[in-house]
């Protein structure tokens, strides 16, 4: 928020806030013209759910068929 207040950022689009259950009636980011807040389901769409199902099924198949190196990862494992 400091970066917005100081003009270091022109705006912010957020779908996660620092608090798990923020009081949106009193949150300082709510109502700002330079902030877009979405519920933490911004990814939700029919195509996103279809991709989730397809990738999950493919990952299970690859793993069970002995090809764990072919499992698609959205986040690389830590080394």
For the segment 51-73, what is each residue's pLDDT rounded down to a tens digit? Answer: 889 999 999 999 999 999 999 87
Closest CA to 37 of 74, 76, 4: 4
Do both 73 and 56 map to the same domain? yes
Instruction: For 6-26, write each residue's pLDDT tens digit.
Output: 999 999 999 888 887 888 889
H or E element that contains 37:
strand 35-37
User: Domains in the chain: how many in total?
Assistant: 2
Given pLDDT bands bounded at 50, 70 and 90, which one contains residue 1? confident
Do both 57 and 23 map to the same domain? no
Closest CA to 16 of 36, 40, 32, 34: 40
Do both 27 and 47 map to the same domain? no
Do both 1 and 26 map to the same domain? yes
Chain centroid to CA 62: 26
Domain carrying residue 35: 1-40
Q: 1-12 b/e with 16+ CB inside 10 Å = b?
A: eeebeeeeeeee
- Predicted TM-score (pTM) of the model is 0.52
Do both 58 and 69 map to the same domain? yes
């Amino acid at each position: 928020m400091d970066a917005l207040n100081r003009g270091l950022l022109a705006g912010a689009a957020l779908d996660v806030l620092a608090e798990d259950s923020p009081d949106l009636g009193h949150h300082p980011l709510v109502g700002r013209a330079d902030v877009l807040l979405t519920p933490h389901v911004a990814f939700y769409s029919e195509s996103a759910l279809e991709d989730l199902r397809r990738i999950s099924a493919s990952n299970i198949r690859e793993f069970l068929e002995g090809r764990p190196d072919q499992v698609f990862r959205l986040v690389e494992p830590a080394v």
